[in-house]
Structure 1
Amino acid sequence: MAPEALAGTSAESSLRLRASWARCEHLEVPPDEVPPVYSGAVDVDPVFVESGRTVLADLRSTLAGEPVGVMLTDATGLVLQRFLDDAAMHRSLDRVHLAPGFSYAEAHAGTNGLGLALADRAPSLVRGAEHYVESLREYTCAAAPVLDPRTGDVAGTVNLTTWSRSSSGLLLALATTAARSTSALMLARTGGPAQSRTTTGTGSAPGALPDRAAPRGQVYRVVPARAAGPADPCASRTWRAAVEQVERAMLAGRVVALAGEAGAGKTALVASARRRAELRGTLLAARTPGVDEVGAWLAAWTPVLHEDGACIVVSGTSALPAWAADQLAGVLATARRTDGAPQPFVLTEHDAAALPGALAALVDVVVEVPPLRDRPEDVVPLAEHFARVHRHRDVAITPAAAQVLRAAAWPGGATQLRQVVQAAVARTDAVDVRHLPADLASRTRRSLSRLESLERDEIVRALTVPGTTVARAAEQLGISRATVYRRISAYGIEVPRA
């Protein structure tokens, strides 16, 4: 880092910036420009989003007419919302992808205000030449982490960005005050700190609100369809056909219902269709909550219905009582953009016949989403994509591991595959069979007892050691070679060799 870049910087800030630059070099962050990063779908606490929206809307009015972008990000650095009045700054931030749906984590965008605030869990100011990436050196960025008052975890950040030539010393103070105000508003809206962490609803993130305090439905952002990042990794004929059906329906302004198993990738399919159609705007997915939380759930995400180009994906409506489904149908049917056109939305269910009547009446087109087990050619490209997103670089998958992945049943669909891949790449730079769950290499049709499962797992682990033989595995396990062969047959174990 050039010494002149640290002129006027305190000793503590200098140490933090130097450490950040060193991390960026180690991560091989591109030094010339910020690459647009596809972030996929991420869980976001609706109380955090709405509290942040309220605080930043007030801050925006305070900064009216100033060339300052006011942003809310999640805990991974994904930009959720941006408030900005200045047209020149708006265009400039779009060029460097500091916009909703893009990641500005340190591993993606180098040393920057919000990335450093997340890395150090402390308010951070990065000015001009202090940025690691050259294309960001015309800005000054101030950011402060928002702490969840119930858990102490970082919920996200408040970020303020302006031109480096006109940056104000008050920028960091404003960001810090806004972050504290957001945390305080979260506390007020949840009635006080929770006694313990509670997971609410299937697939909720750790630290989600307890049942008494917040809607179980999740609100989360997906990168805009025009956004960048790699193309859809899935290229199977059935998947592409479904994507094209949704694309045609969206371009025609028709309401789509997607039917498919949990984890099949229904929201990802919508994102892919919007990207193909070059539709701009936020894609927001909302999972239905418990019966007593419908009002709070609707309040958390329906403001997005007024954003131009936004598209809402609502899932799990079959769990709603009739009155709640009617209320939701009314909200969706009457939603309008600023130009008066209907706001696009998509409904997803395991079976289209399960849609409540009021919502089914709004649907023009039903598209079946093929399960992952019927698309084996998509499994390895999807696994490589999940590995790249998790590690921020390519991770090798051996031919033997690829064979196991393709042959697996994937009852949990792409969601299960992502979890398996993330667990594997957290332990290795080259995924082999031994890094995968043992049950993926088993084809038994009957349910195994706990003891049988443990025995199967130990045999698979022994057999997947590089260069091992059945005889060597038997010796390691302390059983005869004949017993190993019998167990391989009984448990349907298939261990491909590289």
Structure 2
Amino acid sequence: MRDRSGPAAEFPDLVAASWQRVSAAGLTPDSDPRVAPAGTPSRGRLCSAATAVLDRFESEIADSGFGVALADRSCRVVDVRFGRRSIRRRVADTLGLVPGARFDEENTGTNALSVPFETRRVVRIEGHQHYLESMRSFTCWGMPILHPVTARLEGVVDIMVDSGHASALMLPTLRRLVEDIRAELAARAAGGMQPGLEDFLARSARTDAPMVLLSEDFVLGNRAARDGLDAADYAALQATVDAVGPGSRREVVLGSGTSEVEVVRVGGGRVLCVLGTDHAGRVVPRGANANRPAGERIAERVRCLGQLPDARIAVLGEAGTGRSSLAREIAPDADRHRCTGDRPADRTGLDRVLAPSAGRTVVVDDVHLLDGPGALRLVRAMAEGGRRFVLTAVSGSTDGCPEVPALIACCTERIVLPPVRERRDELGPLTARMLDGLGAGGSRVSPAAMRVLAAHRWPGNLHELRGVLAAASRTAGGGDIGPGDVPAELTATPRRAGLTALQAVEADAIERALLGTGGNKAHAAKRLGLSRTTLYARLRSYDIRV
């Protein structure tokens, strides 16, 4: 009898590796597929290109035991077709294979949707090679769909049949389906390049300013853009467009400095970015104003605070936003104590930094961890005057001790550090500085990899970004960092890509609550005013893993 706890020795390498990943994710062979359909998926370009192809195939397999499933670039099922209704019902009831279900390895084990999605390879999964026992009555072939223009993953096609009826024609049929879908995508891409192109050429003839035409499939720049912009600049422009939308002006951080960009909607729903230039055609750095990037505004605040010897300064922000680093920059030679929540240790630390013999500048990190007596002691010390205080705290984490908000309120100056998800238009300069600090200044982040970074929500903020760049630079071996060098958990399209604005706000609030409670879901639910059942449902729906 075959050992069902691990892959058999004769399993293909792709299948055996998938079993190992699935086992590490916590599934067992007797598990049910962990699929929770999130409603009917929207019809994107993949569905539009594949509908006619699948219609023809459905007529070919009528009254047979064959079926086909189509998943999108996040491995979410968007279409299923079967020769018999009885098989459709059986697959829907036992496997959850219905539009809206996410069929990745973590949720559904080794199958002909999840493995091609993970590996970008064609794969055959015989019945006993499926990780979940509930799928072992089927033999399947799966193949990824790569866009013919961009070579990016668009989705996966899976042909399936009862194991006793597998046919040698399954693979050639699968290849034909995928090639027909790719041909439709290519035709739509070719026809779709014309809208917006005429506007781009007409504007280029009237100005020497750098101009960039942004599309989901391509980026087109004029000569000035080619000469003056680099990969990080293009990513910054895309992030700016995503943040403000067409019909607006915004300042954007480029490698050459901060410049004003005009965002214009042109034909085909595409967006054209026109950058400000001087008379010589060079990108113009702009002066200070409220729309400057957060990094520049914070740096100027730090310079100004350096001239205030008796200031009481609070540095606030989510975990990982660089609060302690900024406090060190404001007061590099200060006496310092980091609060731990351990009452005796914090009392000893405060005794040291508040002693009469201590210096005139005091930095106390993570004051949100202080108890009431400790917070009141700092309040009294600041009220005495004669010293400069810099306090740091995690935003939203002051509800455990009522004295801590009073402590923060005593500060005359506040710096609130934004999370990385609100600084996507600064990712180019941020990543460049971090790579320099990691000793990998010779590496650069490619445009494709920058898009992956910009799509991530960064719950760990700068700390997480630094770790990702360190790992990616090691994988790249000192060369340019591409999408393949970025950790796999960032390259998978998040389930939150299609959220409404209100849902995105709710997802962010849940992430902040979990971070503020150290991942304790019961405490996070209480802070959010939700039941634990509702919180768990939101975590699954928004794909939040903190």
TM-score, structure 2 as length reference: 0.40
Please say which structure displays the higher CA radius of gyration.
2
Greater relative CO, 1 or 2 (CA 8 Å, sep 6+): 1
TM-score (normalizing by structure 1): 0.43
